[in-house]
């Protein structure tokens, strides 16, 4: 339970798990490879115990995929481990060292200031994955911070990261969330929580920057060899493996950002310490999904200049990748000139990688199977009409999917636009384009619905779920969002309210970091 500052009970989290008759001790098959790297890569530190941990939710399918019994995670011993009150057998807790550019300004030492890597497991597919406790207390990298996480940001990350997984976008995952029974002080006292996060790894561009800033070429080479062996093993024996490693990271980032764009996602803090070399989305702080489409949309309360606006994300990813290439220069060539030339050649490939990925994604959203050179214009023109008409991004594409099968549904699409000038002309061009496809309209519509979600984690719904949990201990809206967002492409009874954009008094205009 969490009590207010006078000791009055505020809420008791609702547990979203099957009840057990007897406690079960969780057995986690840890194999901690990062902790076997040189000790300058991290600091060994145990989580700080909390007052009264209680379970909010365990991600049962993910737990089973990791080879962990979800019922054991929900046991008292499991909850204690998830909160940081108990060190599981085989765990080797560490806080990872890294640096980073934050809003363009380089900070030579950041590191895990409020998160602890408790260990790694090989999942049921043989893939190595980190288990990370976010909000687990102070570390040597906390920089005056409390090392804790408030309940609201933990719920936001759980909801959005799991929605990303269901949308097919590479992402960290939420294994479990617990309340702590403690308060964290932000603008006001807030109930604390811990998120158990899973990732292919937590190696970032900023991890390489940490060693580059110290001119530690040996560490850069060691880290690159480790990352290649773990994430890009097919490159291990190549004669130019470090150059190919750079190309592989560039390709994954380009493809990732394209996927963000075509679901209308705005990360909010694309700092280099939030750019994973695995190509997974990491850190869901002031993130948001657009309702009304406009390319300059910004939600993050700390992004005053719009550096990380929706349309700026591809260029920012490119900028981050340049910083990554700079860290690798000592191992990219025998001379500085060779290294710079090799890095530049690979960086120059990013725009084409991103453009191919974004064009493929938008073509699929418009029902185009075999792309032509004219399709880029058709795509951009639809986005322009949407921006001019202040149309809802998600509903526009989903309603267009229905219109592919039934032209009468075009009226529903027009109703989404405050100003529909240009829409009819565009629809005519679109239908002419689809007429060149041999597939039946029903099949085209089905293909479009498979990539155009009917529901997303809309900001006002996420905020309502957080408000209910923090304010009164009602976790039902949170659980409902997580459950329904696991099937984002399936229209079905009971989700009509989740499809809707916010009413004027529900619009969320700013989102906030958890720190």
- From the list 65, 112, 182, 273, the catalytic residue is 273
Residue in the block written with tokens 């909850």 = 79
> 502, 494, 414, 397: which is closest to 457 by C-alpha?
502
> 512, 515, 514: which is closest to 286 by C-alpha?
512
> 16, 275, 6: which is closest to 155 by C-alpha?
16
Q: Is 273 a known active-site residue?
A: yes
How many beta carbons lie within 10 A of that of residue 40, not counting itself?
A: 14
Contact by Cβ (8 Å): 506, 497: no
* Those residues with Cβ within 8 angstroms of residue 298's Cβ, 6 or more apart along the chain or in another chain: 266, 306, 308, 309, 310
Contact by Cβ (8 Å): 141, 153: no
Task: Give 119's strand partners.
Answer: 131
188-203 burial, b at 16+ Cβ within 10 Å, e below that, comes to: eebbbbbbbbbbbbbb
Distance of CA 210 to the CA centre of its chain: 23
Rounded CA gap, 110 and 101, in Å? 10
Rounded CA gap, 266 and 388, in Å? 20
Side-chain half-sphere exposure of 511, counting CA atoms within 13 A = 29
Rounded CA gap, 147 and 136, in Å? 6
Rounded CA gap, 176 and 121, in Å? 16
Rounded CA gap, 513 and 80, in Å? 26
Contact by Cβ (8 Å): 398, 416: no
Positions marked catalytic: 273
């Amino acid at each position: 339970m969490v009590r207010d500052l006078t000791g009055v009970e505020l809420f008791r989290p609702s547990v979203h798990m099957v009840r057990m008759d007897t406690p079960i001790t969780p057995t986690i098959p840890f194999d901690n490879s990062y902790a076997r790297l040189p000790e300058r890569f991290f600091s060994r530190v145990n989580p700080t115990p909390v007052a009264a941990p209680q379970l909010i939710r365990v991600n049962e399918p993910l737990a089973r995929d990791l080879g962990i019994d979800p019922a054991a995670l929900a046991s008292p011993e499991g909850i204690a481990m998830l909160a940081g009150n108990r060190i599981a057998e085989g765990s080797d807790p560490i806080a990872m060292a890294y640096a980073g550019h934050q809003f363009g300004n380089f900070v030579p030492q950041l590191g895990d200031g409020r998160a602890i890597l408790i260990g790694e497991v090989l999942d049921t597919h043989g893939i190595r994955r980190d288990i990370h406790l976010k909000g687990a207390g102070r570390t040597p990298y906390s920089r005056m911070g409390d090392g804790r996480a408030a309940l609201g940001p933990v719920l936001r990350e759980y909801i959005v990261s799991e929605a990303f997984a269901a949308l097919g976008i590479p992402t960290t995952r939420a294994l479990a969330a617990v309340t702590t029974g403690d308060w964290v002080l932000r603008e006001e006292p807030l109930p604390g929580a811990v998120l158990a996060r899973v990732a292919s790894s937590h190696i970032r561009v900023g991890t390489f920057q940490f060693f580059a800033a110290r001119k530690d070429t040996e560490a850069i080479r060691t880290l690159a060899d480790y990352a290649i062996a773990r994430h890009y093993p097919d490159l291990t024996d190549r004669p130019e493996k470090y150059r190919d490693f750079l190309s592989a990271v560039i390709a994954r980032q380009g493809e990732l950002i394209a996927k963000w764009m075509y679901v209308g996602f705005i990360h909010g803090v694309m700092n280099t310490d939030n750019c994973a070399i695995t190509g997974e989305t990491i850190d869901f702080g002031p993130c948001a999904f657009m309702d009304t489409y406009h390319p300059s949309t910004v939600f993050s309360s700390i992004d005053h200049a719009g550096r990380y606006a929706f349309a700026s994300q591809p260029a920012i990813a490119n900028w981050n990748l340049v910083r990554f290439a700079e860290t690798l220069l000592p191992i990219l060539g025998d001379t500085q000139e060779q290294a710079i030339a090799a890095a530049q050649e690979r960086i120059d490939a990013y725009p084409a990688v991103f453009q191919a990925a974004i064009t493929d994604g938008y073509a699929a959203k418009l029902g185009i199977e075999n792309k032509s050179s004219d399709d880029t214009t058709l795509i951009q023109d639809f986005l322009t009409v949407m921006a001019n008409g202040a149309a809802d991004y998600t509903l526009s594409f989903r309603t267009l999917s229905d219109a592919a099968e039934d032209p009468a549904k075009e009226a529903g699409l027009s109703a989404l636009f405050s100003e529909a000038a240009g829409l009819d002309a565009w629809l005519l061009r679109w239908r002419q384009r689809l007429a060149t496809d041999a597939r039946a309209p029903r099949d085209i519509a089905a293909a479009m619905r498979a990539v155009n979600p009917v529901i997303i984690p809309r900001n006002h719904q996420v905020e309502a779920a957080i408000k209910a949990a923090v304010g009164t201990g009602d976790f039902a809206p949170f659980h409902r969002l997580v459950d329904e967002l696991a099937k984002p492409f399936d229209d079905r009874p009971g989700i009509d309210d989740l499809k809707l954009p916010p009413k004027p008094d529900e619009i969320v205009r700013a989102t906030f970091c958890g720190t």
